[in-house]
Amino acid sequence: MTEHPWRILPLAAEHTRSLAECHIACWREAYRDLVPAHVLDAFDTERRAQQWERDRVRHPGRTQVAMVDDVVIGFASAGRSRDPQPVTPFELHALYVRMPWHGSGVADDLIRAALDPAAACSLWVFERNPRAQAFYRRHGFVLDGARKVEAFTSAIEVRMVRRAPMTSGESAPTGAPGGSRWT
């Protein structure tokens, strides 16, 4: 087994400020050409840290952080679907990794820590983010045709879904892509 310089941990109070810094930096790195600059420039570290602390207290264990020393370099957050009419019970709410760590495997470790591979899950990703979509496809997600306008950027998001794997003795419904179970 290869040793990595990062470790994956559940979000703790001592991580929230570093998580806020990571979250803002990731948005600025990934979305400079997609999200209006004034939106990216308006992010406030203190406010974001307070939001993460509230989320940590309300939903313990929902967010996993990738740490190198005492610095958050990435994170993943998952929980019950927030869609008004959910297509899966669970949703990957966020997965971000700082740009210097792209391609290192830390995102793979984060998604495995955040999601139960036996549970159906959905996520929303910017339509104009093919890199992220390719990553999610590698982890079994497929576009399901749903689209929406992201709340504060007016960018289009598309939904990707990963169905739960079939158990022995179960047959795939007619028309299910890739033999996936539609729940």
For residue range 129-176, list pLDDT tens digits in order.
Answer: 999 999 999 999 999 999 999 887 888 999 999 998 755 544 433 333
CA distance 165 to 155: 32
What would the 3-class secondary structure string for 86-112 be? Answer: CCCCEEEEEEEECHHHCCCCHHHHHHH
Query: What tokens appear for 169 in the block?
Result: 């003795």
What pLDDT sits at residue 112? 96
Tens digit of pLDDT for each residue in 149-162?
A: 988 788 899 999 99
In a domain, 48, yes or no: yes
12 touches 41 (CB < 8 A): no
Sheet of strand 7-10, all strands in order from the earlier edge strand to the far edge: 7-10, 63-68, 71-80, 90-97, 121-126, 156-162, 142-149
In a domain, 1, yes or no: no
Tens digit of pLDDT for each residue in 15-73?
A: 999 999 999 999 999 888 888 888 889 999 999 999 999 999 999 999 999 999 999 99
CA distance 133 to 15: 28
Cβ contacts of residue 120 below 8 Å, gap of 6+?
88, 89, 90, 161, 162, 163, 164, 181, 183
CA-closest candidate to residue 11, choices 47, 50, 57, 46:
57
Long-range contacts of 100-106 (CB under 8 A, 24+ apart): 100/73, 101/6, 101/66, 101/73, 101/74, 104/4, 105/4, 106/4, 106/6, 106/66, 106/73, 106/74
What pLDDT sits at residue 183? 23
CA distance 115 to 21: 24
The domain total for the chain is: 1
pTM for this prediction? 0.86
Of the listed ranges 20-29, 38-47, 86-95, 108-117, the one predicted with least confidence = 38-47
What pLDDT sits at residue 119? 93
Find the domain containing 22 and state its range. Answer: 7-179
CA distance 76 to 63: 6
In a domain, 147, yes or no: yes
Cα angle 149, 126, 109; round to 5: 135
CATH number of residue 86's parent domain = 3.40.630.30
In a domain, 59, yes or no: yes
In a domain, 2, yes or no: no
Query: What tokens appear for 139 in the block?
Result: 């982890």
What pLDDT sits at residue 153? 80
